[in-house]
A = this chain, B = another copy of it.
Amino acid sequence: MNTIINEQSAQAFTIKKGDILTVIDPLGQQVSDMVVFNSLDHNEKLSSGKSLDFEASILLTTGNYLWSNRSNKMMKIIEDTNGRNDFLLAPCSQETFTIMYNHKGEHPSCLNNLYQNLKPYGITTDQIPTAFNIFMNVQFNTEGKITVCPPTSKAGDYIKFRAEMDLLICLTACSAEDSNAGSFKPIHYNIEHHH
């Protein structure tokens, strides 16, 4: 039974070490920004800089681990039917739309949706790290130029993570036009308990 994250929103929840989290793109071409904290100590959290270093890769998929700022394994990717995710770019924020999209006025954003859902756990906006951007298709060349492209994920594609410690997780259904080919869609997820 999948849980639904509605378009341009987010949900936070905790899972235990050994649990399996599956994140599903039900309609295709949608992105989910995922941030992860040690549920017993929120000062330990996902680190893109440590993960890219330990995995020796910018692109993480099946078999790779996500690491914390304290150099501990937080999650293992055990299956990934699409295979393209991003770990370079910070969650879209109000300023993303003002500065990069030249948008006037308020715009829903992953950063604000992460914050609103993590607030009950005592987490501030400033504590939110660079997310693991599931299904996000960020292309780059060897000169470093970055281009955000529509996701390659098709309806039903999913990624499965095994928790390597007790975790607080927040997942979004992304709010940025460039990340999902201009159409806002839901994200589904599912937790299998193994304890």
Q: Which residues of A contact B (CB under 8 A)?
A: 43-44, 47-50, 52-54, 56-59, 69-71, 88-91, 93-96, 99-100, 124, 126, 128-131, 139-147
Contacts and interface: CB of A to CB of B under 8 A. Distances in A.
A73 B186 CA distance: 33
Contacts of A50: 90
Given A58-B88, A141-B142, A126 B53 contact: no
Given A49-B130, A130-B47, A130-B48, A144 B57 contact: yes
A49 to B, nearest CB: 3
Given A44-B126, A71-B93, 15 more contacts: A48-B48, A50-B90, A52-B88, A53-B90, A53-B100, A54-B100, A56-B147, A58-B58, A58-B140, A58-B144, A58-B146, A69-B126, A71-B96, A130-B130, A142-B142
A15 to B, nearest CB: 22
Given A47-B90, A49-B90, A145 B56 contact: yes
A26 B99 CA distance: 38
Most buried by B among A53, A59, A95, A126: A53
Nearest to A58: B144
B43 A126 contact: yes
Contacts of A141: 142
Nearest to A61: B144
15 contacts: A49-B130, A52-B88, A53-B90, A53-B96, A56-B145, A58-B58, A58-B88, A58-B140, A59-B143, A59-B144, A69-B90, A71-B95, A130-B130, A140-B142, A142-B142
